[in-house]
Structures are given as C-alpha cells and as structure tokens.
Amino acid sequence: MTTIPRPHNPPPALLVLIPHAFAVLWLGLMAGFFGTYSANVNLAMLQMDGATYTTVQSAFNRNVRHALFFALFFGPPLWCALAVATAWREHRTLWWRLLAVVGVAYLLGIVFFTQQVNLPLNYTTEAWNPKALPADWAKVRDQWNAANLWRALLSLGCFATALGTLVGRLAGRGT
C-alpha cells in the first residue's frame, strides 16, 4: 500500500511570525538604503561641482520614484502593524510594545520626516538650472545630507530594535 504524502502545513505559530520577519527584513533593507546613501553616495557627491551635483541628485530623485522603492519605503510600518495585529494576545509583552513603537517611529521619523524635509529639498534641487545655480546650493545640499543621515540613523535603530524583538520572541523571552 502506497501512502500519499500530505502537504506540509507550517504550524500556526510560524505563520504568525511571517509579518514580524518581513518587518525586520524591510527595515533592514531601508536601513541599508539610507545608510549606503549617507556613507557612500553623499560623500562622493560632496566632491562634485554644483552643476554636476544638481544633475546627478535630480536624476537620483526622479529615478527613485517607482513601485519597488515605494513598496520598500512604505512597507516597514505596514509590516509592523500586521505583526502586532496578528499577535494581539501578546500586547503586554515587551517585544510587542517595542515593535509597535518601531512602526510608529518609522512612520513619523522616516515617512513623515521625508515628506516634510527631504521631499521639499528634492523639489528645490530639481528646479535648479545647473548652469545658473542659486548662491546657497551647497547649503541646500548639506541640509539634504543631514536629513538623510537622520533617516539612516533612525532606520538603523528601528532595524536593530525590530531584530531584537524577533530574536527575543523566538527565544521565548517575550522581549
């Protein structure tokens, strides 16, 4: 008699961990994006003259507007919300509360901050004529770099905290 193998269904506990793992993954991707930009791209751009900086920065700003980037950029607070919503029974644990804080911190400190600070600076840069730059072009560049460094540091902190919550949760410590 031949037995027909049944499909393996992961235990429910594993399914509940998926949004949490995706939150950590998305946060890590964004921390890497912002960190790489601050540690490499911005430093290279400091060596460029104003016309080259304006042309390249404007091209970066325009070319980052696509579905994959938007999914990655807006994903972390959504994954955090889904992770805490699917584990509502654990809302008194430290890991749950920290992950909720991470989602809110990313939403306010990255998404809202980007809308209020980086995007207006992007629009300013994109409006410049590379052959007739405003006198304060370097000041605007430095403001953008400082704002991106903030996003890099905050997203790294969010990633590290979310990773810690996942490790603690998997270890069963409730952290």
Q: Are 37 and 29 in contact (CB under 8 A)?
A: no
Around Cβ 120, how many Cβ atoms within 10 Å?
15
Per-residue confidence band for 172, with pLDDT thresholds at 50, 70 and 90? confident
In which region does residue 167 sit, left (phi positive, over 0), alpha (psi from -120 to 50) or beta (all else)? alpha
The span from the CA of 115 to the CA of 82, in Å, is 23
Average pLDDT over residues 4-13: 55
Q: What is the pLDDT of residue 16?
A: 84
Q: What is the pLDDT of residue 9?
A: 46
DSSP states of 9-49 as a string? Answer: ---HHHHHHHHHHHHHHHHHHHHHHHHHIIIIIHHHHTTS-
129 burial type by CB count under 10 A (0-12 exposed, 13-18 middle, 19+ buried): exposed
With 0.85 as the threshold, say if the pTM is over it: yes
